[in-house]
Structure 1
Amino acid sequence: MNKIILAIDSFKGCMTSEEVENAISSSLNSKEIEIHNIPMSDGGEGMLEAFITVMNGMIVETKVHDPLMRPIKAQYGITPDGTAIIETAKACGLTLMTAEERNPLIATTYGVGELIIHALQGGCRNFIIGLGGSGTSDCGIGMLKAISDSFPTEKTIKDIIYDEMRDCRFTLASDVRNPLYGPEGAAQIFAPQKGATEYMVVELDKRAIEFANKSAILIGKDSSQEPGAGAAGGLGYAFLQYFNATFRSGADLLLDLSGFDSLLNGTDLVITGEGHADAQTLMGKLPERILRRSQLQNIPVWLIAGRVSQSNKLLSEGFQRVYSITPECMPTEKAVIPDIARENIKRWTDAHLLSIIR
């Protein structure tokens, strides 16, 4: 065993990708093995840090409004070539509200528009937008309003898009492929996770249909059923409809930028993972994308997660080994404490990884 790649997604609400990978690599501490840590994100939590790391960018901070229009400071990134990296959850994330405050009928993406305008005024024209972790379901209306508010009142959003922002290019990073509305749409599938009641889900879906109809008339096309339109509570739709954005798997985009395929040359083992792994992991999530690329070069892939279910399905799809780092008897509320998770990772590393290196 000479070379190992660690490409592990964040353990959401617990540890960042970088923290998980550092916990493993620091436990190995071997001069005889080449270890490559690649911070990972599929466009959700940790997206900003992961993309900035692989693109050698810097972090910028500015004042914006959170989902409830409270003033906050939010970060985004700028790369050496002037590309803005925006993790939308920094401005409209679910974690910016307490459980009691969450209400997708009023939560807004206004702060995302403010981040875009700040980057635009700083000279950025290319944008990579991570769409995970939102606490909103406003179809991007708030984002569009913030952009409109930053220009003279006589200019419509259509004027702004086709005149002031005609040189801007948006790439959306997400693993969500849902349409804007309907049985598989943003409201039906994701709004309950953001605090929506059954009544709210119906109302949100109705609002999405109305906004899509009006937008189709205004812009002359309808992006509401495109894959990814339902991402981030319909924020994906606003980018597709109004800015002709390009949708990419966040995992694949990051893997391409990091030169992952080239790095696989001479690799003996790839270790990937996420907070909870099950059959949905195989539906285009980051570990699955890493598995497929590694399989093309016949490199074994191990999957680790805080919790694992349906491990037989994961093994049958090609993961050589699948591990849950959390003891079965440990309650989840304890397992997600960062220090406890770190101890569990070290225990797993000592028990399963060190043995094949020695």
Structure 2
Amino acid sequence: MKIILAIDSFKGCLTSEEVETIFSQALSSRGMTVRSLPMSDGGEGMLEAFISALHGKIIQAEVHDPLMRPILASYGIAPDGTAVIETAKACGLTLMTAEERNPLVATTYGVGELIAHALHQGCKKFIIGLGGSGTSDAGRGMLRALTDIFAPHGTIDDVLTNHTAGCQFTLASDVRNPLYGKEGAAFTFGPQKGATPEMVEELDRQARLFADQSARHMGKDTSQQPGAGAAGGLGYAFMQYLSASVCSGADLLLNLIRFDELLKDTDLVITGEGHADSQTLMGKLPERVMRRAQKYQVPVWLVAGQTDDAEKLITAGFTRADKLTPEGLALHEAIKPEITRQNIYRWVCQNL
């Protein structure tokens, strides 16, 4: 049997590549032919998944984290010069402790530094992953970094005219929220980044003000376009100032690896994520994998650490919707890598 593994990361536990390595070892020991495809929808693990697909290299740059502390952050460059930037490497929520999180302070400055570093390497095309940010500054920090680096005595206009003109930015994101308003970045994502209700109101006010100023200055307004609210409004800054386009991170990766062609010689696809439920059907990676496989009548098994709404998932098109975690196992135990490894081996032995 020929099996494709197209599994997203188990957040807080294992990367996509780590999960697939365990599955591959377990399946190969039972005589299966396995092809592993590291996956990401633009969030955690995006850099490694996209660089693997593009056969590129990962390099490091000295930048600043969300609290302006010096760090080394990784990004990738493909053989054709395309830069792959996972913004969370510079402004991610996990770069701060729970006590440090304050989106009124946290900045995307380090993302601008990563872009500048890639521009200095001659990159003209950029794939930007917007998941996992700990910021809500509408991308003002990123724009400030670009100005500080390329036009310290000028404005962002000088950067756009002399340094990013002709560059192409593609945002890998499944977030469809606008920049501000009740469905915007602050109200939707601010609380999980440490924002109090008062902070949320202030962040939304600041985003609205920034959008108004930018619209008057540039003669266009992208603040209400789907995806502008991604990464605390970082999506907006890319769209407004760098004319970025937005696409499903999952679909972008699946296109890059020519997933549809691989399906033509496959008996089964196994996909999954840390926690699958009805929200999986809202354009998340396993759902995008399943929709493509349906075209070629290839069955897709959804295997997640935890699975809810299994009937809905199967009705939607998954052939199976299984969970790895045994009943009664506490979450803090279930997310331990070694426990997950044991659960994967047990599931494979029981089902294949």
Scaled by the length of structure 2, the TM-score of the pair is 0.98
Instruction: Give the match for residue 224 of structure 2.
Output: 225
Deviation at 1:321, TM superposition (A): 0.4
- In 2, Cα distance between the equivalents of 1:59 and 1:266? 31
Identity of aligned residues (%): 65
Instruction: Give the match for residue 59 of structure 1.
Output: 58
Q: Indicate conservation of the 8 Å contact 2:27/2:34, yes or no.
A: no
Deviation at 1:116, TM superposition (A): 0.3
Instruction: Give the match for residue 192 of structure 2.
Output: 193
Deviation at 1:162, TM superposition (A): 2.4
Instruction: Give the match for residue 347 of structure 1.
Output: 346
Instruction: Give the match for residue 87 of structure 2.
Output: 88
Q: Indicate conservation of the 8 Å contact 2:6/2:272, yes or no.
A: yes
Instruction: Give the match for residue 243 of structure 1.
Output: 242
- In 1, Cα distance between the equivalents of 2:33 and 2:286? 21
- In 2, Cα distance between the equivalents of 1:239 and 1:57? 23
- In 2, Cα distance between the equivalents of 1:17 and 1:350? 21
Instruction: Give the match for residue 26 of structure 1.
Output: 25
Instruction: Give the match for residue 148 of structure 2.
Output: 149
* Number of equivalences: 352
Deviation at 1:31, TM superposition (A): 8.1
- In 2, Cα distance between the equivalents of 1:54 and 1:7? 12
Alignment partner of 1:180 is 2:191: no
Q: Secondary structure at the match of 2:287?
A: helix
Instruction: Give the match for residue 332 of structure 1.
Output: 331
Instruction: Give the match for residue 206 of structure 2.
Output: 207
Deviation at 1:250, TM superposition (A): 0.3
Q: Secondary structure at the match of 1:127?
A: strand
Q: Secondary structure at the match of 2:232?
A: helix
Instruction: Give the match for residue 113 of structure 1.
Output: 112
Deviation at 1:340, TM superposition (A): 1.1
The amino acid across from 1:283 in the alignment is: M
Q: Secondary structure at the match of 1:271?
A: strand
- In 2, Cα distance between the equivalents of 1:333 and 1:64? 33
- In 2, Cα distance between the equivalents of 1:162 and 1:328? 59
Scaled by the length of structure 1, the TM-score of the pair is 0.97
- In 1, Cα distance between the equivalents of 2:350 and 2:268? 17
- In 2, Cα distance between the equivalents of 1:155 and 1:44? 33
Unaligned runs of 5+ in 2: none
- In 2, Cα distance between the equivalents of 1:136 and 1:346? 38
What does 1:281-300 correspond to in 2, within 5 Å? 281-300=280-299
- In 2, Cα distance between the equivalents of 1:162 and 1:224? 22
Structure 1, 207-216 or 156-165: larger mean CA deviation: 156-165
Deviation at 1:153, TM superposition (A): 2.8
Instruction: Give the match for residue 44 of structure 2.
Output: 45
Deviation at 1:225, TM superposition (A): 0.5
- In 1, Cα distance between the equivalents of 2:339 and 2:175? 30
- In 1, Cα distance between the equivalents of 2:200 and 2:230? 15
- In 1, Cα distance between the equivalents of 2:342 and 2:26? 10
User: Over aligned residue pairs, what C-alpha RMSD do you find?
Assistant: 1.0
The amino acid across from 2:260 in the alignment is: D
- In 2, Cα distance between the equivalents of 1:43 and 1:338? 22
Alignment partner of 1:133 is 2:106: no
Instruction: Give the match for residue 304 of structure 1.
Output: 303
- In 1, Cα distance between the equivalents of 2:347 and 2:209? 51
- In 2, Cα distance between the equivalents of 1:164 and 1:19? 38
After superposition, the C-alpha distances for 1:318-349 in whole angstroms (9 at most, x for unaligned) are: 10100110112011111111111111111111
The amino acid across from 1:39 in the alignment is: P
Deviation at 1:33, TM superposition (A): 3.2
Q: Indicate conservation of the 8 Å contact 2:53/2:256, yes or no.
A: yes
